[in-house]
Amino acid sequence: MFIDGKWVESRSGETFEVFNPATGASLATVPSGNADDATAAIDAASNAFADWSATTAYERSRLLYRSWEIMTERSEDLAQLMTAEQGKPLRAARAEVKYAADFLIWFAEEAKRVTGEWLPSQRADQRFLSVKAPVGVVAAITPWNYPISMLTRKMGPALAAGCTLVLKPAEATPLCAKATYEVFVDAGVPDGVINLVTAANPAPIGDVFTSDPRVAKLTFTGSTAVGRKLAGKSAANLQRVSVELGGHAPFIVFPDADPVHAAKGAAALKFLNAGQACISPNRLYVPASLSDAFNETLCARVDKLETGNGVVDGVGVGPLVNEAAVAKVEAQVEDARGKGAGVPVGGTRLTDGDHGSGHFFAPTVLTGVREDMTVYREETFGPVAPVITYEDPDEVIDLANDTNYGLAAYVYTRDIGVAMRAFEGLRFGIIGINDVNPTSASVPFGGMGDSGLGREGGHEGIAEYLETKTGGFAI
What pLDDT is recorded for position 419?
98
Confidence (pLDDT) at 400? 98
Length of the chain: 475
Please tell me the predicted confidence (pLDDT) of residue 161: 98
**Active-site residue flag, 163:** no
Is 458 domain-assigned? yes
Residue 121 lies in a domain: yes
Residue 116: the pLDDT is 95
- In this prediction, what percent of the chain has a pLDDT beyond 70? 100
Q: What is the pLDDT of residue 103?
A: 98
| Domain presence at residue 270 | yes
What does the alpha-carbon distance between residue 48 and residue 53 come to, in Å, rounded to a whole number? 9
Look up residue 19 and give its amino acid. Answer: F
Mean pLDDT value across residues 106-117: 97
pLDDT in tens, 76-96: 999 999 999 999 999 999 999
> From edge to edge, which strands make up the β-sheet containing 117-119?
117-119, 126-134, 466-474
Question: Is 278 one of the annotated active-site residues of the chain?
Answer: yes
Q: What is the pLDDT of residue 271?
A: 97
The SS3 call for residue 337 is: helix
Domain harbouring 331, CATH code: 3.40.309.10
The CATH number of the domain holding residue 33 is 3.40.605.10
Which pLDDT belongs to residue 475? 95
Residues 194 and 212 in one domain: yes
CB 430 within 8 A of CB 453: no
8 A C-beta contact, residue 283 and residue 250? yes
Tell me, yes or no, whether 239 and 253 share the same domain: no
Q: Are residues 407 and 374 in the same domain?
A: yes
Residue type, 425: G
What's residue 177's pLDDT? Answer: 98
Do 292 and 365 belong to one domain? yes
| E strand residue ranges, 63-210 | 117-119, 126-134, 137-141, 164-168, 194-196
Read off the pLDDT of residues 440-470 as tens digits, 9 standing for 90 and up: 999 999 999 999 999 999 999 999 999 999 9
Task: Report yes or no on 403 lying in a domain.
Answer: yes
Say which of 244, 379, 456, 464 is annotated catalytic.
244
User: How many domains does the chain contain in total?
Assistant: 2
- Give me the pLDDT at residue 212, please: 98
> Residue 243's pLDDT is what?
97
Decide if 445 is inside a domain: no
Amino acid at 280: S
* pLDDT tens readout for residues 341-376: 999 999 999 999 999 999 999 999 999 999 999 999
> Is 361 in the same domain as 461?
no
What's residue 348's pLDDT?
A: 97
Whether 182 is in a domain gets the answer yes
What is the pLDDT of the chain when averaged over all its residues?
97
Give residue 29's identity as a one-letter amino acid code. T
Q: So what's the pLDDT on residue 117? A: 96
pLDDT at 252: 98
Residue-level pLDDT at 413: 98
Residues 190 and 83 in one domain: yes
The pLDDT of residue 325: 97
> Distances in Å between the alpha carbon of 101 and those of 65, 80, 181, 450?
10, 16, 13, 28
Instruction: Measure CA of the first residue to CA of the last residue in the chain; give whole Å.
Output: 52
Query: Cβ neighbours of residue 221 under 8 Å, at least 6 residues apart?
Result: 141, 142, 143, 150, 154, 243, 244, 245
Instruction: State whether 76 and 194 are in the same domain.
Output: yes
pLDDT tens for each residue of 130-166: 999 999 999 999 999 999 999 999 999 999 999 999 9
Q: What are phi and psi of 470, to 5 degrees?
A: -115, 135
Q: How sure is the predictor about 102, in pLDDT bands with cuts at 50, 70 and 90?
A: very high
Dihedral, CA of residue 328, residue 333, residue 334 and residue 338, to nearest 10: 140
Q: How confident is the model at residue 425 (pLDDT cuts 50, 70, 90)?
A: very high
Give per-residue pLDDT as tens, 41-72: 999 999 999 999 999 999 999 999 999 999 99
Q: Of residues 85, 278, 379, 464, which has the active-site annotation? A: 278
Give the domain range for residue 410.
Answer: 249-440
Give a yes or no: residue 235 inside a domain.
yes
Residues 241 and 257 in one domain: no
Position 446 in a domain: no
pLDDT tens figures, 297-306:
999 999 999 9
Q: Are 229 and 274 found together in one domain?
A: no
Which segments of 136-223 does DSSP mark as H helices, in order?
Answer: 149-161, 174-187, 203-211
In terms of domains, do 266 and 175 share one?
Answer: no
Are 357 and 430 in the same domain?
A: yes
- Nearest to residue 5, comparing CAs of 156, 161, 190? 190
pLDDT confidence of residue 345: 98
Domain shared by 349 and 364, yes or no: yes
